[in-house]
Chain A
Amino acid sequence: GAGVSQSPRYKVAKRGQDVALRCDPISGHVSLFWYQQALGQGPEFLTYFQNEAQLDKSGLPSDRFFAERPEGSVSTLKIQRTQQEDSAVYLCASSLAGYGAYEQYFGPGTRLTVT
């Protein structure tokens, strides 16, 4: 079946621009996660949704980062006034359920380059 998909795969933004990154989780998956992966590093947790509820946004690095999942399926990560330090790969993952169902399936990521 279809896995997690993300779009765009690559995004180049000028410093100060706003960007929106999309994630389509596996159909029926309740949990959705966003991670940020800097070059040469492991993914770092940004935020977590259970259905449409954002239960944890403790990993968002600043108030320029905003995520939503209004209908409990597709999610969008928005970054306002992008800065060079925002350059990274943004990974989305989904899981069948919340706590108790552990395996997270990852999408291919969106590589954001801020110039």
Chain B
Amino acid sequence: GESVGLHLPTLSVQEGDNSIINCAYSNSASDYFIWYKQESGKGPQFIIDIRSNMDKRQGQRVTVLLNKTVKHLSLQIAATQPGDSAVYFCAERPDSSYKLIFGSGTRLLVRP
């Protein structure tokens, strides 16, 4: 299948370690944020979301942090596994809109 993210920044972590992927978003009026995971040859897969009235949300092994002051979003993955290897995109939804604006992505490589 096609390769996603040939020229993306790469984060390499050891299996079992925690991963932190960062994203700077552009629109201070955005009210909703999502992290997507994209494996080669597949479409983006929803991981976790957060609304602008929150600063932290936890899922299973994942946590999203939102800092509206500096327009920064991060995704924390606990106990990273080989199956977590993929390209990760943050996306924002500008207020009163329905479209998503995606960031440029980060490739996560998990070393066994």
CB contact list, A68-115 vs B, under 8 A: 89, 91, 93, 95, 98-99, 102-109, 111
Q: Which of chain B's residues have a CB closer than 8 A to the CB of A111?
A: 1-2
Choose, from B14-22, B44-52, B71-79, the stretch at the interface. Answer: B44-52
Report whether A105 and B46 are in contact in the complex, using a CB–CB cutoff of 8 Å: yes
Tell whether A51 is near chain B: CB-to-CB under 8 Å: no
Taking a contact as CB atoms under 8 Å apart, the answer to whether A45 and B46 are in contact is: no
Which residues of the partner chain B approach A109 to less than 8 Å between Cβ atoms? 2, 42-43
- How would you classify the secondary structure of chain B's contact residues: helix, strand, loop or mixed? loop
Judge whether B67 is part of the interface by a CB distance below 8 angstroms.
Answer: no
Number of A interface residues, CB 8 Å? 30
Closest CB pairs A-B (n = 3): A42-B102, A106-B43, A45-B99
Which residues of A pack against B, CB within 8 Å?
Answer: 4, 31, 33, 37, 39-45, 48, 55-56, 59, 89, 91, 93, 95, 98-99, 102-109, 111
A-B contact pairs, 30 of them (CB 8 A): A4-B43, A39-B2, A39-B6, A40-B5, A40-B6, A40-B7, A41-B104, A42-B104, A43-B89, A43-B102, A44-B102, A45-B100, A48-B98, A48-B99, A55-B98, A56-B99, A89-B2, A91-B43, A95-B98, A99-B98, A102-B32, A103-B34, A103-B49, A104-B46, A104-B100, A106-B36, A108-B43, A109-B2, A109-B43, A111-B2
